[in-house]
Structure 1
């Protein structure tokens, strides 16, 4: 998930900067960056929504004293925990499942096959004035009550502007029937340029397509995160780029680059958020005790989604506790923000799209 937090008026930015100043130090273990950014995005939108609502007599802006603890939990990366794996999820964590064949391909060979499949796809035409549309299913963890509460499967739609920028309006996101603007990141006073935080098709096309050079680029440019292994940070950075509309040569190079990261393995059995079975490409962050996994379709090796769970007991959950889970349903290129590709309405409640 991109770090596309909303910012608009100086007063709103002042609120966020004050909240950020009050945040505690990060926890010893921390969410994979995808889950961290998703919670940050949702909470910042809640702040915006409450500020906008304060102009109406029927509602009051939530007091900062109430907002800070919840926001701090998300931004400090302790929105982990959730529910223990059950059934197929527990078997997936162990790497086996009843009634299914075990995939014994070495991870390097599997990633070469995934790379080849990605590289053979037709390259789409994406103009700078268009938007990349993504729809996904997500399970979220909420700690507002002080206890981890896992939401039902939720539907998210995003429209990301493809202009090179910098841009102050990045696109739109729709969830639970509400549509919100995606504005420049906090601190980007002149707008957010194309890059890791806003990976446009043209920016992705500019990345090195030689796997060794691309991996050097990723290690040099991936933001550093306290208490996170450097190899893990680069692995998760690649994961954040997956799943959208991407140049085939770039996708192929990313998978080949991932095969060169120390500690990357394959999990023969994996499931996305909707329960679609697949093969996993994974890495364990031993420092934080977190397993992060990309899920691919067994037949055509297309990207299905990602998930992560604890591999060590932590104060907020036992080993096996699910931290995050997504399923990519659809991607497309559209002309306007808010425009849905043909046939989207008919598949809105489907798992496979």
Structure 2
């Protein structure tokens, strides 16, 4: 029962003194709530990967922001209100999510060239290692030989990637074209409310703190600064235990897959060599990790891949590496069985790392960029 006192009182405002006005305001409020509710996606399966939750939450909130701004413009004259700052789903490095997932994930329909590669056999190499562990051992050795960079707290990590995704909010994959996405991630320890910038289709927008971080988002798994990455254990066993402890749990999601995806979300940017080497050796210890002898990134670059199948969601995630120097090229994910979103072979989140660097200001391009 509505306990609002609608009795006329000279001291009340005009809207409170008039029951009809109050009732009209309530109806407008209810209509706004119903409009927002219609924008919500249908319930997703419990096995939906963490990066997809971030992706769809970001898309939904951006659409709500725009719709609210449109309604405000219609109700009053004057300039359009500033759009709410973007959230850090776009700040995660360009893997398994990337900018977002970094970069962020969705579903993409494949062509024949995108057909999933078959897994290698379970044979061991001459050192007694399984193919995936042997490949990750080689990748780890190559990563560990890289030069450590000096990254100041006042600088930004620049990443450019090509991304293709699809919107799942309708319950089916709606494919986007390939897009160029640039991001600048602040390296300040935080917690921060403004985490950097992202640029797409000529539009540059700030990235806001993660939803729920009212005091700002600190550095960590959701905002991996160079300083934070340097603080991680470099012993693979200790690092893996740390990641299992810090990766949020989700009902119905595979724990091993969640940690595999978390490691994937850290790849593709500027990272301390010792940390990179430890991450690859830690990934080799996750059950279900396999080697693919051939794979392609979004730009068509051919490489070798490390993969893992998420049996709950029915998707295979691949990390693609240059076969010559084991540079990380990008990641891709596709369905290996029919699901409500598409048939087996439907590709989820394809993206390719084009460039990364350390710059002094957000929005600044690196002095020399690798050509796509």
Matched, 1:93 2:117: yes
Deviating more after overlay: 188-197 vs 218-227: 218-227
Contact 1:80–1:323 (8 Å) recurs in 2: yes
In structure 2, the partner of 1:322 is 347
Matched, 1:198 2:235: no
In structure 2, the partner of 1:163 is 188
Task: State the alpha-carbon separation in 1 of the partners of residues 106 and 301 from structure 2.
Answer: 23
* Alignment TM-score, normalising by the size of structure 2: 0.75
From 286, 298, 308, the equivalent of 1:261 is: 286
In structure 2, the partner of 1:183 is 208
For residue 108 of structure 1, report the CA deviation from its aligned partner: 0.7
Task: State the alpha-carbon separation in 2 of the partners of residues 225 and 287 from structure 1.
Answer: 12
In structure 1, the partner of 2:313 is 288
- Structure 1, unpaired ranges of 5+: 1-14, 62-78, 97-103
In structure 2, the partner of 1:272 is 297
Task: State the alpha-carbon separation in 1 of the partners of residues 167 and 278 from structure 2.
Answer: 36
In structure 1, the partner of 2:333 is 308
For residue 42 of structure 1, report the CA deviation from its aligned partner: 3.8
Task: State the alpha-carbon separation in 1 of the partners of residues 169 and 251 from structure 2.
Answer: 24
Q: What secondary structure is seen at the aligned counterpart in 2 of 1:328?
A: strand
Contact 2:69–2:80 (8 Å) recurs in 1: no
Matched, 1:48 2:61: no
Aligned residues: 305
Matched, 1:37 2:54: yes
**CA distance change for structure 1 residues 35 and 279 in 2, over 3 Å: closer, same or farther?**
farther
Q: What secondary structure is seen at the aligned counterpart in 2 of 1:94?
A: coil
Q: What secondary structure is seen at the aligned counterpart in 1 of 2:57?
A: helix
**CA distance change for structure 1 residues 333 and 53 in 2, over 3 Å: closer, same or farther?**
farther
Contact 2:42–2:171 (8 Å) recurs in 1: no
Task: State the alpha-carbon separation in 2 of the partners of residues 281 and 274 from structure 1.
Answer: 18
From 191, 197, 221, the equivalent of 1:172 is: 197
In structure 2, the partner of 1:132 is 157
For residue 212 of structure 1, report the CA deviation from its aligned partner: 0.5
For residue 152 of structure 1, report the CA deviation from its aligned partner: 1.4
Q: How does 1:136-155 map to 2 (within 5 A)?
A: 136-143=161-168, 147-155=172-180
For residue 95 of structure 1, report the CA deviation from its aligned partner: 5.2
Task: State the alpha-carbon separation in 2 of the partners of residues 244 and 81 from structure 1.
Answer: 23
- Structure 2, unpaired ranges of 5+: 1-32, 82-104, 121-128
